[in-house]
Amino acid sequence: MKNVIDRYVYRVHWSDECEGFVGTVAEMPELRFVSGSFVEALTGIRISAHDEAAKLVERGVAVPVPFEDRHYSGHFMVRVPPEVHRRLSIEAAEQGVSLNRLVQARLS
Could you read off the pLDDT of 29-41 as tens digits, one per residue?
A: 999 999 999 999 9
User: Structural domains in the chain?
Assistant: 2-68 (3.30.160), 72-107 (no CATH)
The pTM assigned to this predicted structure is: 0.76
Describe the crossing of helices 82-95 and 99-107 by its angle, rounded to 10 degrees: 100
Q: Report d(CA 49, CA 32) in Å as an integer.
A: 9
| pLDDT > 80? residue 1 | no
Strand 10-15 and strand 20-25: the pairing is antiparallel
